[in-house]
């Protein structure tokens, strides 16, 4: 039985469980459930605090874990990434009070830096050759400066709204660019059930990043149109009752789809349809 850790709370919990459900795995119905057995797929899911997941996986107690890259790095556990999941995107950044002085990493020398990710910060300070006091807080880190326990912070930035609300500005290069990832113990053995779970999740990640475009195109414009929609391998083409027209079907990047549809219209394609893909194996 494969043992897989899933975040039980926080930003990643909902999307992680939804992605596993989309990949065909049983998920919990009750928020308080800590385990779910999916006997049909030979997998048991453990719902754990996101910060603890890399520790369980690194110790070898659990085979795979869904967590944030930043959380995994901060744990210091011996884990490696198998798959990036495309949600829970954030950067991890230093920030300090807005003002005439623009901070750099060197300005952190001798300062107090509040963070919930002490290892990420300690390692980054060492890379910069800076000595500073790292103050570990559990959350609401942005308030720590106005409450007088820190001079600067290092925290997760999503939209940047929380920093702005507290009169803070980010500075320096991002310490880490994060998203939700699947991790395993570093150097762990290959396993068929594990590989199958990764392949199913990969199918959902791809499906979320692409759409299926269908359109009809005059035969003489086919080369021009299919250059815009080369598909992942090559586009599927089918004859239409009117022999001067061809039906084309190809996967295109979800982000680029609207612009591609505009360009297809401009070259003379008709009946252009974009549809969601639920899951795929490529």
Ligand X SMILES: Nc1ncnc2c1ncn2[C@@H]1O[C@H](COP(=O)(O)OP(=O)(O)OP(=O)(O)O)[C@@H](O)[C@H]1O
Q: Which residues bind ligand PRP (CB under 6 A)?
A: 139-142, 155-162
If the CB atoms of residues 153 and 197 are measured against ligand PRP, the closer one turns out to be: 153
Among 178, 184, 208, 216, binds ligand X (CB under 6 A): 178
If the CB atoms of residues 67 and 216 are measured against ligand X, the closer one turns out to be: 67
In angstroms, the CA 59 to CA 185 distance is 7
Which of ligand X, ligand PRP, none binds 24 (CB below 5-8 Å, type-dependent)? none
Which of ligand PRP, ligand X, none binds 78 (CB below 5-8 Å, type-dependent)? none
Which of ligand X, ligand PRP, none binds 142 (CB below 5-8 Å, type-dependent)? ligand PRP
In 3D, which of 112, 65, 71 has the Cα closest to residue 92? Answer: 71
| Dihedral of the alpha carbons of 10, 146, 75, 159, in degrees to the nearest 10 | 50
N residues, the chain: 282
If the CB atoms of residues 159 and 192 are measured against ligand X, the closer one turns out to be: 159
In angstroms, the CA 209 to CA 180 distance is 15
How is 15-69 classified by DSSP, letter by letter?
Answer: HHHHHHHHTT----SSTT--EEEEGGGTEEEEEE-HHHHHHHHHHTSSSEEEEEH
**Residues numbered 138-167 forming contacts with ligand X, rule: CB under 6 A:** 139, 156, 158
Q: Pattern of binders to ligand X over 88-127, x per CB under 6 A?
A: x-x-------------------------------------
In angstroms, the CA 176 to CA 91 distance is 6
Among 5, 6, 19, 71, binds ligand X (CB under 6 A): 71
């Amino acid at each position: 039985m494969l043992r897989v850790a899933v975040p039980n709370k926080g930003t990643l919990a909902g999307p992680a469980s939804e992605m596993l459900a989309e990949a065909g795995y049983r998920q919990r119905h009750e928020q308080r459930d800590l385990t779910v057995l999916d006997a049909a797929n030979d997998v048991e899911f453990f719902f754990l605090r996101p910060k603890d997941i890399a520790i369980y996986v690194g110790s070898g107690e659990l085979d795979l874990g869904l967590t944030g890259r930043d959380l995994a790095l901060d744990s210091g556990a011996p884990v490696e990434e198998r798959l990036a999941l495309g949600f829970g995107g954030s950067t991890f950044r230093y920030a300090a009070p807005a003002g005439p002085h623009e901070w750099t990493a060197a300005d952190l020398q001798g300062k107090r830096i509040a963070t919930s990710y002490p290892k990420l910060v300690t390692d980054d300070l060492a890379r910069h050759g800076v000595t500073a006091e790292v103050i570990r807080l559990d959350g609401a880190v942005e308030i720590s400066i106005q409450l007088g326990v820190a001079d600067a912070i290092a925290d997760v930035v999503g939209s940047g709204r929380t920093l702005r609300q507290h009169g803070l500005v980010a500075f320096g290069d991002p310490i880490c660019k994060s998203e939700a990832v699947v991790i395993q113990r570093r150097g762990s053995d290959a396993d068929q059930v594990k590989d199958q779970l990764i392949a199913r999740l990969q199918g959902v990640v791809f499906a979320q990043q692409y759409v299926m475009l269908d359109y009809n195109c005059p035969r003489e414009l086919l080369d021009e149109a299919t250059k815009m929609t080369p598909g992942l391998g090559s586009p599927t083409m089918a004859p239409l009752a009117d022999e001067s027209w061809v039906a084309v079907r190809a996967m295109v990047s979800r982000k680029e789809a609207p612009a591609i549809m505009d360009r297809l219209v401009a070259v003379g394609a008709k009946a252009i349809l974009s549809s969601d893909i639920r899951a795929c194996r490529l």
